[in-house]
Amino acid sequence: MRILPRLFAIVAALSLLTQPASAQSVLRDAETEALLNDMAAPLVAAAGLSPGNVEIVMINDRSVNAFVAGGQAVYIHSGLIEKADTAAEVQGVIAHELGHITGGHVITSSQGYAKASRISILSMLLGVAAAVAGAGDAAMGVMMAGQQAAMGKFLAFSRVQESAADAAGAQYLSKAGMSGRGSLAFFKKLQSMEFRYGVSQSDDAGYGSTHPMSGDRIARLTRDYEADPAWAKPDDAQLQARFERVKAKLAGYIQEPAQTLRQYPETDTTAPARYARAYAFHKQALMDKALSETDALLKIDPDDPYFLELEGQVLLESGRPADAIEPLREATALTSNQPLIASLFGHALIATEDKSHYAEAEQVLRAAVARDRLNPFAWYQLGVIYAANGDMPRARLASAEQQVMSGQYTEALRSAQAAEAGLETGTPDWLRAQDIAMQARGELERGKKRK
């Protein structure tokens, strides 16, 4: 490992803004995505954006962070969900990130970088000139001072954007009729983290940061939030209950089972605790205990699709695909064929290795990818079905879809070319194979240029 020079640190910081998820895995869960979309919807409307065009994505990263990327995507780290105590806290973060989107900050970050680059490049040229003249120490001093100025310019630009996003987020919360208490509570958590890690709270400390100091942000936002008519409005109890379930599910999925069982002991019989323990027991291969928790959840609400999905998942991944079919079929129907749940259902049908289920599996999986093309797992399962039915060109096409989404561009190109060769010319599938081949070639060429 090595420390990047400061000039390259600026480039790295910018690349995180423009390509944030490329090196990180996305966590996908039907219940979690439904909750995040419902939490964001009134804020998206308040920001003047179309809910269907804004994507809320959860990243598998236990650090406390959120950011925006190109287009209208808000990325939330799983660590932020773990750290938050309320849905309102997460909504405050979403409101802030929407402020970055409406402010066009991903695009304008390039302006801040350009200004910083000009300073740094100029300092390098001056340093080279000094070195040629024989003043080596002076050359090094000029270059270091120039790079420090470049970093300061970029950080100042970033802090202005963060302050603008804070103000916009407060406006969106107000317009949506939501209290800013959750937003302030989360900023106070960040401030506590700053104290814990020894971040200076002095007036000049913020000059070395991409964000304004949390204390300054809290003071400024407190004035705005307390003056807002929604300040005393209670949080949405239904959203909070859903958030507690999702948070527990996430803990059970991500944490080590021992940690989950300490956090959610068996004396806790609430639905979130049972959710967390079901995942913990399942990870320990304690199928009977995991199913005991899912049975208890279904006694609370036998028609809850996410409880049914969990039961089906435990059964399927424990080697009982035939038993998983009915709960997953019911969960799929109750959610109007939600693609992630439908994909799991299709997988269970295939895993029985009973050919009488294959026609239904193909129907379910085709519907799933039609609603959610960015689902490599569903494409893989669909490819299995096509291959089992002897339809190798479409099996190759499904593989190409899965491979290009997974960054396997060489394999995707090979699969797309094989699919194109076997499909009827001019059909939609033939055209799609051409598109994937073109995309894969483009990515491979960009990879060569980067090297």
The CATH number of residue 88's host domain is 3.30.2010.10
Alpha carbon distance 204, 193 (integer Å): 19
- Give the HSE-up count for residue 77: Cα atoms under 13 Å, Cβ half-sphere: 14
Contact indicator for 314, 278 with CB cutoff of 8 Å:
yes
* pLDDT tens digits along 264-311: 999 999 999 999 999 999 999 999 999 999 999 999 999 999 999 999
Mean pLDDT of 232-259: 96
Alpha carbon distance 220, 218 (integer Å): 6
User: 397 vs 319, 388, 429, CA distance in Å?
Assistant: 29, 14, 8
Q: Is residue 1 part of a domain?
A: no
How much is the pLDDT for 200?
53
Mean pLDDT of 27-45: 96
Q: Closest by alpha carbon to 165, among 229, 95, 106, 213?
A: 95
How much is the pLDDT for 219?
86
Q: Is residue 133 part of a domain?
A: yes
* pLDDT tens digits along 177-216: 999 999 999 988 888 887 776 655 554 444 444 456 677 7
Q: Indicate the residue among 226, 244, 262 that finishes a domain.
A: 226
> What is the residue range of 451's domain?
391-451
Q: Is residue 415 part of a domain?
A: yes
Mean pLDDT of 346-370: 96
Q: Is residue 331 part of a domain?
A: no
What residues have CB less than 8 Å from 295, skipping those under 6 apart? 311
Lowest mean pLDDT among 89-98, 127-136, 215-224: 127-136
The beta-strand segments (E) located in 284-415 are none
Q: Is residue 332 part of a domain?
A: no
User: For the chain, what is the domain count?
Assistant: 2
Q: Indicate the residue among 211, 226, 241 that finishes a domain.
A: 226
Q: Cα 307 from chain centroid? A: 23
Q: Indicate the residue among 226, 245, 269 that finishes a domain.
A: 226
- Is the per-residue pLDDT at 111 higher than 60? no
Query: Of 71 and 130, which is predicted with more confidence?
Result: 71
Q: Is residue 250 part of a domain?
A: no
Q: Is residue 284 part of a domain?
A: no
Q: Is residue 54 part of a domain?
A: yes
